[in-house]
């Protein structure tokens, strides 16, 4: 597996750890919006520090390219999180998770138009197998409502847009650190306008809250976006997105190991399918692999 694909896989593994932090923060009174604000704030601060130390010119972005960063920060990070929260309120979390992982489908279709990526038979098969694995890992489904469906698909679409807007910014000469800094900054500012500034007071209420807030910002935002955006510099967005379907596999494994959740045959089969899809995607490519494989 090439280093860029490994970076995408590393990002997925780190995102899969988010449940370890959100459960503890929830016990301290953090709502989902509060968690989003503190983790994006911590990540933006760290990416800003990286720019300050390594590439101060990275703070400069051309006004005509501002839409790329508003797209990755507002249209992707903030929009998909808002839709996902709304979907969870309207139906079972397992169904919302399945709809969220329609994201690779959107990435593949958009990338074919925007970046002229080839839709190969291998990609299509890997995507189908990975999605089936996500369905099994997430529990297979439950009650579906019209509003929940729309919000769930909106979450998947918004989740997909990060790969698109980030790659567009990278193609315009910006570093991955610059992309990450403004993406997290704009997402945090937008979230504060929706949910307010009280999450910062919650984070400062105790050493435990402060530590968990910093932890989720570093482990589940700063490091994975650092890896994933770097992965996009040498990996097709559709391929990177499919690799990131490893996230629910890691989340399920953490549920079993850390919280004693049951390992059902369905979850085990879903894990195997998702891992198999990633392996399939990273087999040595045939010389003549086009739209029909």
Report how far residue 216's alpha carbon sits from residue 165's, in angstroms, rounded to the nearest whole number: 24
Question: What's the pLDDT score for residue 1?
Answer: 55
Mean pLDDT value across residues 68-82: 94
Could you report the per-residue pLDDT of 241-251, keeping only the tens digit for each? 999 988 888 88
* Token pair recorded at residue 243: 């690799």
Question: What's the pLDDT score for residue 32?
Answer: 87
Which residue is it, tokens 């510099």?
233
Lowest mean pLDDT among 10-19, 121-130, 139-148, 245-254: 139-148
pLDDT at residue 120 tops 80: yes
pLDDT at residue 205 tops 90: yes
Quickly state the pLDDT bin for 290 (edges 50, 70, 90): very low
Mean pLDDT value across residues 183-212: 95
pLDDT at residue 187 tops 50: yes
CA angle, residues 212, 213, 215, in degrees to nearest 5: 60
Report how far residue 7's alpha carbon sits from residue 246's, in angstroms, rounded to the nearest whole number: 12
Task: Give the closest residue to 291 by CA, choosing from 118, 115, 112, 106.
Answer: 118
Mean pLDDT value across residues 259-263: 80
What is the sign of the dihedral through the CA atoms of 95, 100, 101 and 106?
positive
> Please, is 146 exposed, middle or buried when counting C-beta atoms within 10 Å of its C-beta (0-12, 13-18, 19+)?
exposed
CB of 99 closer than 8 Å to CB of 135: no
Report how far residue 263's alpha carbon sits from residue 52's, in angstroms, rounded to the nearest whole number: 45
Report how far residue 238's alpha carbon sits from residue 122's, in angstroms, rounded to the nearest whole number: 12
Question: What's the pLDDT score for residue 233?
Answer: 92
Mean pLDDT value across residues 117-132: 91
DSSP labels, 175-216? -HHHHHHHHHHHHHHHHHHHH-SHHHHHHTS-HHHHHHHHHH
Lowest mean pLDDT among 106-110, 182-186, 244-248: 244-248
The pTM of the full predicted model, rounded to 2 decimals, is 0.88
Question: What's the pLDDT score for residue 285?
Answer: 59
pLDDT at residue 286 tops 60: no
* Token pair recorded at residue 141: 């489904």
> What's the mean per-residue pLDDT of the chain?
89
pLDDT at residue 141 tops 70: no
């Amino acid at each position: 597996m090439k280093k860029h694909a490994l970076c995408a896989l590393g990002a997925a593994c780190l995102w899969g750890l988010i449940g370890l932090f959100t459960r503890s923060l929830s016990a301290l009174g953090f709502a989902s919006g509060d968690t989003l604000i503190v983790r994006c704030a911590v990540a933006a601060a760290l990416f800003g520090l990286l720019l300050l130390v390594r590439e101060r010119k990275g703070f400069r972005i051309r006004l005509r390219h501002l839409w790329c960063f508003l797209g990755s920060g507002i249209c992707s990070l903030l929009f998909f999180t808002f839709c996902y929260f709304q979907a969870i309120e309207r139906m079972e979390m397992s169904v919302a998770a399945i709809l969220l992982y329609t994201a690779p489908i959107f990435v593949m279709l958009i990338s074919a138009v925007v970046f002229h990526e080839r839709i190969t038979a291998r990609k299509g098969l890997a995507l189908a197998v990975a999605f089936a694995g996500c369905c099994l890992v997430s529990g297979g489904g439950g009650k579906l409502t019209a509003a929940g469906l729309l919000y769930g698909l909106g979450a998947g679409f918004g989740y997909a847009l990060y790969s698109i807007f980030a790659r567009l910014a990278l193609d315009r000469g910006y570093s991955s650190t610059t992309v990450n800094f403004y993406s997290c900054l704009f997402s945090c500012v937008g979230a504060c306008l929706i949910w307010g500034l009280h999450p910062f007071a919650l984070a400062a209420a105790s050493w435990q809250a402060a530590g968990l807030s910093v932890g989720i910002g570093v482990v589940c935002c700063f490091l994975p976006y650092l890896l994933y955006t770097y992965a996009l510099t040498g990996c097709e967005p559709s391929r990177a997105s499919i690799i990131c379907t490893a996230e629910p596999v890691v989340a399920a494994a953490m549920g079993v190991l850390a919280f004693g959740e049951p390992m059902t045959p369905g979850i085990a089969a879903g894990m195997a399918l998702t891992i198999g899809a990633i392996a399939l995607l990273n087999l040595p490519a045939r010389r003549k692999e086009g739209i029909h494989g």
